[in-house]
Structure 1
Amino acid sequence: MTLAKAYAAPAAGEALRPIDIERRSVGAHDVLIDVKFAGICHSDIHTVRGEWGEQSYPLVPGHEIAGIVAEVGNAVTKYKVGDRVGVGCMVNSCGTCDYCEAGDEQYCRNGMLGTYGAVDRDGSITQGGYSTHVVVTEDFVLSIPEGLDLDVAAPLLCAGITTFSPLQRWGAGPGKKVAIVGLGGLGHMAVKIAAAMGAEVTVLSQSLSKQADGLRLGAQHYYATKDPETFEKLASSFDLIINTVSAPLNISSYLDLLRVDGAMVNVGAPAEPLPVNAMALIGGRRSFAGSMIGGIAETQQMLDFCAQHHLGADIEVISADQINEAYDRVLASDVRYRFVIDTATLN
């Protein structure tokens, strides 16, 4: 086994602290990764605090992982020592159900295996990327292309694919008007990616405080949703709306911003239900949908796309002893736009 330094939540509601964890021995199809950077996702906070259900503790979060291959199993064919690689929100699936065979491992009928907080095949609990090392089967390791620095690439393994997948599936591109609700960790990547796809991009945010950032990132328009006139002015304007916020919204008001056959796709995950007025859908043949990350092949496609268009996340690199402070700042929306842990500070 490999001994790794890590930061873990000892219990729900308690501050994360240093811990030593054991990584499994490298099996025939495994890849040992020397983790260089790990992004902090809002879902890390929800999970370790028990807000999305009971957890086993101590728990090491982190599913935005970028690093270097340190060792490979004797049957590994995709990677070699020294390769630049990443790991996202899942580290395994059954591989045999129809969804897995279609490249949608995230929807595995038998349950995809989350990067942390999931019961692994041997009965242990998976531990995430706030650590110096991780061992992952080669089929769930991604190649990080040259041209993407590892620190700005780490958040792409969640924030990047979470926004890329619905933008691609619902046809963002030239001639399409796309609105992004919220300009945070997810929203800022959605703006960058939608603009690179050729769409006309509008940011819908509570206020105009981040307007300069939104336009810099690629949006052509920026509106404050706390202004009632915004919803009047933009009625029936958009082909696609990507909602990135994890808070309750008046969904019907946003649906009224869609053109006929438009779609609103939720990628944020608020704990509260989101009521929808059926007439807001029926009146314009509109759709209200959801999307969760992407499969491994699509995630690799996203990384290649981002490298081609020079799209990394906007980040603030922190040391491990700043993780708890960073959590508080995430909750206060005081980050532009993703915290990334330099895992060298774990040693």
Structure 2
Amino acid sequence: MSKYHAFAAQSATSGLAPLQIERRAPRPDDVAIDILYCGVCHTDIHFAENDWGRTTYPVVPGHEIVGKVTAVGSDVTRFKVGDRVGVGCMVDSCRQCKACDSGLEQFCESGFVSTYNGRDRHDQSQTFGGYSEAVVVSERFVVRVPDALELPAAAPILCAGITTYSPLKHFGVKAGHKVGVVGMGGLGHMGVKFAKALGAEVTLFTRSEGKREEAQRQGADHVIISTDPEQMAAAAGSLDFLLDTIPVPHDLNPYLETLTYDGVHILVGLIEPIDPTLNAANLVRKRRVLAGSLIGGMPETQEVLDFCAEHGIRCDIEMLDIHNINEAYERMKRSDVKYRFVIDMATLKSTG
């Protein structure tokens, strides 16, 4: 075991502060990684503040990790010291069920092991995330970061990127399709970029007229102000897919009405009860589908990084000194970031 600097929450109200944590020595299939950058996801806030009632303290958040390999176990074949690598939302799974055998570890029948606030399958130790100097992860759950990607901007691809890329690929979005993206935060702006790169005609739904120019800069062909009944009515029956990135309960009915028959409304941000009530007629009368999607498996996570490298896609980021993480959390609650904070872990090295 080795000790490393990290930032952790000790309770739901403590905020984040320095903490020394221990990382295991590499097992035969492990990769040890010096963390250079770590993205900040809204899920980090939920766990730090125990919004979902299942946080084990202390919790070290961070599941958008990029860095360089510093050591490998004796059985590792895919990575060597010095490689640029990443770790996303998972660090293990049962590796034996149908989902795992299909490269869909996010749907592991036993439940995947989260990068933080999880339990190691071997020794039952608590997993700690990327707000730290280093991490040790099984080779299977490490991905290669292509040289064409800048490391800081690549970090959020491991959560915000794969969360939006996976459903677009799964449901078959391709050239000629018309795709609506609901919301333009960390997930939404990536959804716009991916849908456009896949050849779709992209419409962004936003509540703010002030985001029109920015949405078009991101690649949106059309912008609809979702609070304008006339604009929403004009879009009725026009779209093949909706990628809904809004993370809080909202009325799905007006959005469903913008879909054509056999259209698919995909939820990637909402994991709470739907409110207000869904009018089932919006599904039945047009054979529409309301679907959900959760990150992606390890093969697809590598695929999205390679796709971003090929198409010149990057996440728009704001670099962050880890000592300002609590302020950053408050800004995220106000949606005051375009579009993802990324911690420069060199700032952690100044922690006493």
Tell me the TM-score normalised to structure 1 length. 0.98
What residue is the counterpart of 2:10 in the other structure?
Answer: 10
Q: Secondary structure at the match of 1:27?
A: coil
What residue is the counterpart of 2:175 in the other structure?
Answer: 174
* Aligned equivalents of 2:230, 2:9: Cα separation in 1: 44
Deviation (angstroms), 1:247: 1.5
What residue is the counterpart of 1:249 in the other structure?
Answer: 250
* Aligned equivalents of 2:224, 2:274: Cα separation in 1: 25
What residue is the counterpart of 1:197 in the other structure?
Answer: 198
* Aligned equivalents of 2:91, 2:163: Cα separation in 1: 16
What residue is the counterpart of 2:339 in the other structure?
Answer: 337
CA RMSD of aligned residues (A): 0.9
AA aligned opposite 1:273: I
Ranges in structure 1 where 5+ consecutive residues have no aligned partner: none
Alpha-carbon contact 1:261-1:286 (below 8 Å) kept: yes
Which of 313, 324, 327 lines up with 1:325 in the alignment? Answer: 327
Deviation (angstroms), 1:80: 0.2
* Aligned equivalents of 1:210, 1:125: Cα separation in 2: 41
Deviation (angstroms), 1:235: 0.3
CA displacement 1:34-85 (0-9 Å, x = unmatched): 0000000011111111111221111000000010001101110010000000
Question: Is 2:40 aligned against 1:40?
Answer: yes
Question: Is 2:96 aligned against 1:89?
Answer: no
* Aligned equivalents of 1:141, 1:319: Cα separation in 2: 25
* Aligned equivalents of 1:271, 1:250: Cα separation in 2: 13
* Aligned equivalents of 1:251, 1:163: Cα separation in 2: 18
Deviation (angstroms), 1:249: 1.4
Deviation (angstroms), 1:270: 4.6
What residue is the counterpart of 2:54 in the other structure?
Answer: 54
Q: Secondary structure at the match of 1:334?
A: coil
What residue is the counterpart of 2:317 in the other structure?
Answer: 315
AA aligned opposite 1:242: L
Alpha-carbon contact 1:207-1:223 (below 8 Å) kept: no
* Aligned equivalents of 1:94, 1:204: Cα separation in 2: 39
Alpha-carbon contact 2:250-2:274 (below 8 Å) kept: no
What residue is the counterpart of 1:259 in the other structure?
Answer: 260
Alpha-carbon contact 1:319-1:341 (below 8 Å) kept: yes
Alpha-carbon contact 1:183-1:205 (below 8 Å) kept: yes
Q: Secondary structure at the match of 1:209?
A: helix
* Aligned equivalents of 2:265, 2:104: Cα separation in 1: 21
Identity %: 50
Which of 289, 292, 295 lines up with 1:290 in the alignment? Answer: 292
* Aligned equivalents of 1:200, 1:4: Cα separation in 2: 47
CA displacement 1:287-314 (0-9 Å, x = unmatched): 0000000000011111000000111100
What residue is the counterpart of 2:144 in the other structure?
Answer: 143
* Aligned equivalents of 1:32, 1:2: Cα separation in 2: 11
Q: Secondary structure at the match of 2:210?
A: coil
Q: How many residues align?
A: 347
AA aligned opposite 2:52: W
* Aligned equivalents of 1:273, 1:280: Cα separation in 2: 14
Alpha-carbon contact 2:240-2:263 (below 8 Å) kept: yes
What residue is the counterpart of 2:80 in the other structure?
Answer: 80
Deviation (angstroms), 1:3: 1.6
Q: Secondary structure at the match of 1:153?
A: helix
Task: Name whichever of 116-125 and 264-273 sits farther off.
Answer: 264-273
Ranges in structure 2 where 5+ consecutive residues have no aligned partner: none
Tell me the TM-score normalised to structure 2 length. 0.97
What residue is the counterpart of 1:23 in the other structure?
Answer: 23
Q: Secondary structure at the match of 1:77?
A: coil
> Where does structure 1 differ by over 2 angstroms across 4 or more consecutive aligned residues?
269-275
